[in-house]
């Protein structure tokens, strides 16, 4: 973050100074929300939620080196030499500060939302644009009302484009974030069942995702998945719209999709201006969608076919997003443990199915936020395992019982059910052997990366 004075911060947030501090022209060049990682001279913002209150850590942050803080209430005492800015709501003050700061930089913002593949698409777009521009991108999936403003506050005058991921689990959240970032380019990856517990239908999810356009620039470019039937219902949008997919009628299209037999997908991409061979360093046919969307963004910003193909080759997935771990005895672990929903789970199983491993094992856990549809949607994954030719299922968790029952009916050769991860650890040595590829995936709350670490412990290094 480039420096802002305390005076400017007060004006932007409508805050009021508490205590006796009066050095309002003192600069602040960092904003932090975690009292455990404070840097000297930073502004500490204590956030509050249902189960926590950052105000309890104000003194720790200030004693740890922060120059000052926001606060929603008066303090019993004030540390000398530290500033305290009283605001009605610290989260809102963070947003107001970030919105003001974002407008200091006359650079385009690419905003990405969707049910599945937001983080992968964000990383792919940033990789392609990085061939020509200095890019600020969302780290990991810090895509909510805290992560997005914190990302914007990392901007500096070296950046030429920002690529931001916008997430949600309730109506109105994308509207809130769109107002903050004011996108020049807006991408929607697809409409699936993620968070359907809160919305009730995919149509309502589409409505919520479409909030990305509410505060878009007048000349915004919309880039959409042309193979998604719900997204196709959005036309006509009041913006130039580009469609990406494998079906007819897409502006950006892929053909000849195939695996190289190792860790790459290959295809021929066709754009309105060129065609190029893509070598995507990831597995699964679904990877053509983030690649095509990245080409649409890249071409909009003047990249050549060669530059875009090179950017795709430089793509690196975020941690725990289908990371491929090669172990001894020809054992491969597909670590896709960051999160899961029915669409991403099917895509991951498709990746497992497409490998050339003699033995294919799926270790699958619960998918959350599916509401009353959860049993049926889990059962659908079990049925798909039978069609995909998976040799063994290890189902972990309460809801995963439905995956297990459906997989048995679908004649998956070997099915194991484990109520807990500890039970799964007892089963895994029995089902993992030489020449095996094992997929591990579940929703974030299951924390099944613990099982990946266990697998690494019981297998040899390559």
Asked whether this chain's domains 105-313 and 323-458 adopt the same fold, the reply is no
Tell me which of 3.40.50.10800, 3.40.1390.10, 3.30.565.10, 3.40.50.1970 is the CATH number of domain 4-89.
3.40.1390.10
Query: Would you state the pLDDT for residue 237?
Result: 92
Structural domain boundaries of the chain?
A: 4-89, 105-313, 323-458
* 267 in Cβ contact with 280 (< 8 Å): yes
Type and span of the H or E element at 453: helix 449-458
Query: Would you state the pLDDT for residue 177?
Result: 97
Query: Would you state the pLDDT for residue 417?
Result: 98
Query: Would you state the pLDDT for residue 331?
Result: 97
Quick: pLDDT tens for 161-182.
999 999 998 899 999 999 999 9
> Could you say which residues of the chain have pLDDT below 70?
none
CATH number of 323-458: 3.90.190.20
Look at the block and give the residue holding tokens 């947030």.
13
Query: Would you state the pLDDT for residue 288?
Result: 97
Query: Would you state the pLDDT for residue 120?
Result: 94
Quick: pLDDT tens for 112-149.
999 999 999 999 999 999 999 999 999 987 999 999 99
DSSP 143: -
Query: Would you state the pLDDT for residue 249?
Result: 92
Query: Would you state the pLDDT for residue 149?
Result: 97
Quick: pLDDT tens for 356-395.
899 999 999 999 999 999 999 999 999 999 999 999 999 9
φ, ψ of residue 222 in degrees (nearest 5)? -100, 130
Query: Would you state the pLDDT for residue 432?
Result: 97
CA distances 109 to 152, 186, 203, Å, are: 10, 9, 27
Please give the full DSSP string across 218-253, using - where no structure is assigned: TTPEEEEETT-HHHHTTPSPSSEEEEEESSTT-SEE
Cα 316 from Cα 127, distance rounded (Å):
8
DSSP 441: E
- How many CB atoms within 10 Å of residue 140? 15
CA 139 to chain CA centroid, nearest Å: 9
Q: Which residues contact 158 (CB under 8 A, 6 or more apart)?
A: 134
Overall fold of domain 105-313: 3.40.1190
């Amino acid at each position: 973050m480039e420096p802002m004075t305390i005076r400017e911060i007060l004006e932007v947030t409508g805050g009021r100074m508490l205590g006796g501090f009066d050095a309002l022209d003192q600069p602040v060049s960092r904003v932090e929300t975690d009292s455990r990682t404070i840097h000297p001279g930073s502004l500490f913002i204590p956030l509050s939620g249902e189960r926590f209150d950052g105000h309890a850590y104000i003194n720790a942050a200030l004693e740890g080196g922060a120059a000052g803080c926001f606060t929603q209430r008066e303090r019993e005492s004030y540390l000398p030499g530290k500033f305290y800015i009283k605001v009605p709501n610290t989260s809102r003050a963070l947003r107001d500060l970030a919105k003001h700061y974002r407008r200091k930089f006359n650079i385009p913002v690419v905003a990405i939302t969707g049910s599945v593949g937001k983080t992968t698409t964000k990383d792919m777009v940033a990789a392609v644009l990085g061939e020509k521009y200095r890019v600020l991108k969302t780290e990991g999936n810090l895509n909510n009302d805290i992560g997005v403003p914190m990302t914007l506050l990392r901007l500096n005058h070296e950046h030429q484009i920002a690529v931001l991921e916008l997430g949600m689990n309730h109506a109105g959240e994308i509207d809130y974030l769109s107002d903050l970032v004011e996108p020049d380019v807006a991408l929607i990856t697809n409409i699936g069942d993620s968070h359907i517990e809160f919305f009730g239908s995919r149509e309502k999810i589409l409505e919520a995702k479409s909030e990305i356009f509410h505060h878009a620039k007048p000349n915004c470019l919309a880039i959409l998945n042309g193979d998604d039937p719900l997204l196709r219902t959005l036309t006509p949008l009041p913006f130039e719209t580009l469609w990406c997919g494998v079906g007819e009628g897409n502006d950006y299209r892929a053909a000849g999709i195939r695996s190289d037999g190792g860790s790459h997908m290959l295809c021929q991409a066709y754009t309105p201006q060129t065609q190029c061979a893509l070598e995507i360093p990831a597995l699964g046919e679904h990877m053509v969608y983030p690649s095509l969307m990245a080409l649409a963004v890249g071409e909009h910003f003047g990249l050549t076919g060669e530059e875009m193909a090179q950017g795709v080759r430089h793509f690196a997935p975020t941690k725990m997003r289908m990371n491929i771990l090669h172990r001894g005895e020809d054992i491969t672990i597909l670590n896709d443990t960051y999160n899961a929903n029915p669409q991403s789970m099917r895509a991951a199983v498709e990746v497992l199915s497409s490998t050339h491993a003699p033995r294919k094992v799926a270790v699958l856990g619960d998918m959350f936020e599916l509401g009353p549809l959860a049993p049926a949607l889990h059962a659908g994954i079990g049925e798909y395992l039978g069609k995909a030719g998976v040799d063994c299922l290890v189902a972990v968790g309460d809801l995963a019982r439905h995956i297990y029952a459906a997989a048995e009916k679908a004649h998956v050769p070997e099915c194991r059910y484990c109520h807990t991860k500890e039970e799964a650890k007892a089963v895994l040595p029995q089902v993992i052997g030489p020449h095996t590829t094992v997929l591990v995936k579940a929703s974030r709350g299951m924390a099944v990366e613990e099982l990946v670490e266990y697998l690494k412990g019981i297998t040899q290094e390559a």
